Chain A
Amino acid sequence: MSYDQGIEVRETPPASGPLSFRMKITSDPRLLPVVRSTVAEFAAIWGFEAEQCRKITLAVDEALSNVMRHAYKNRSDREIELNCQANADCLEFSFVDHGESADPARFCSQPLDDASLSGRGTHLIRQIMDEVCYQRQFGRNRLSLRKYLPGAKGKG
């Protein structure tokens, strides 16, 4: 049983233009399953196969968990904005919070070792997504993730 169960996976994205939605959630981990279900459906609608839907869902979940844990220091009453956009060749997710700034080095490549108990979340995000961009602007953190459809031009 996993998040792809019961989700209809389409072979190609619909031709009727981009799709987007926005969620504002409080930084409460109990909301993570709600977001996971939504993101898994969104990726499936846009033509990603089941395994990729699971991985995209994992990356989004890890990004939200990072905000809750590091930016908001586990306070569960803060606000996180999640924007999801499906373009012709990719899915884009952006996360905006007003918490403490992140160390940009966390989003850079760093070796994993068996003993490490932290840093696996950002490692997973980098492994799964094609583009990862972190910015600190006007007292806000903004993390953007992009995943191209298989065979898309922008895929590096």
Chain B
Amino acid sequence: MTTATREQTGSTIVDVTGDIDMGTSPGLRKTLLESLKRSPRLVVNMRDVRYVDSSGIASLVEVLKEARNTQKKLILFGLNKAVQEVLQLTRLTRIFEIRETEEEALQA
């Protein structure tokens, strides 16, 4: 898994690529928490995430909690079927703000 961070119109966008699993989720968690410190709006591009497991979901939940605690926003976009299925299985679809495209995520 790799991440790349960019800034756009008051948001920090983190592009995530690859598999998020037990081996890679600690790195993602660290990147997202650090990005959240620097920006009021964190947008996570998951278009190129082909797999996520429960540790990846737990990392996203942790970042979401931090965003709520600090009155910031976390928005996910570009979730493929595999990622959506895991969110549904863990019953977490509703707690995240999810958009289909980057444009929609930036406007949210």
Partner of B61, one of A3, A36, A117: A117
Name the interface residues of B83-98: CB closer than 8 Å to any CB of A.
85-86, 89-92, 95
Which residues of chain B are within 8 angstroms of A127 by Cβ–Cβ distance?
89
- Give the CA-CA distance A81 to B90 in the complex, in Å: 27
Interface flag for B57 (CB, 8 Å): yes
Given contacts A2-B80, A33-B19, A65-B21, contact A124 B90 (CB under 8 A): yes
Check A61 against B53 for contact (C-beta < 8 Å): yes
CB distance from B58 to the nearest CB of A (A): 5
Closest to A57 in B: B51
Minimum distance in angstroms from A45 CB to a CB of chain B: 19
Q: Which residues of B contact A (CB under 8 A)?
A: 19, 21-24, 48, 50-51, 53-55, 57-58, 61-62, 65, 80-82, 85-86, 89-92, 95
Size category, A interface: 20 to 34
Q: List 25 A-B contacts (CB under 8 A).
A: A1-B48, A1-B80, A2-B80, A3-B50, A3-B51, A32-B19, A32-B22, A32-B23, A36-B19, A54-B85, A55-B85, A55-B89, A58-B53, A61-B21, A62-B53, A65-B22, A68-B22, A69-B22, A114-B61, A114-B92, A120-B57, A121-B53, A121-B55, A124-B54, A124-B86
Which residues on B sit within 8 Å (CB–CB) of A103?
Answer: none
**Do residues A117 and B62 form an inter-chain contact, with CB atoms below 8 A?**
yes
A29 to B55, CA, bound (A): 12
Q: Is there an interface contact between A65 and B53, defined as CB atoms closer than 8 Å?
A: yes
B50 CB to closest chain A CB (Å) equals 4
Contacts A2-B50, A117-B62 given; does A30 touch B89 at CB 8 Å: no
Cβ-neighbour of B89 out of A2, A5, A65, A124 (below 8 A): A124
Bound Cα distance from A18 to B73, whole angstroms: 51
Q: What residues of chain B lie closer than 8 Å to A29, measured between beta carbons?
A: 21-24
* Contact code string A118-149 (vs B, CB < 8 Å = 1, else 0): 10110110011000000000000000000000
Residues of A within 8 A of B21 (CB): 29, 32-33, 61, 65
Q: What residue of chain A has the Cβ atom nearest to residue B86's Cβ?
A: A58
Give chain B nearest CB distance to A42 CB in angstroms: 16
Q: Complex formed: what's the CA distance from A3 to B95 in Å? A: 26
Beyond A58-B53, A118-B58, 6 additional contacts (C-beta under 8 Å) are A2-B82, A33-B19, A62-B54, A65-B21, A114-B61, A114-B92
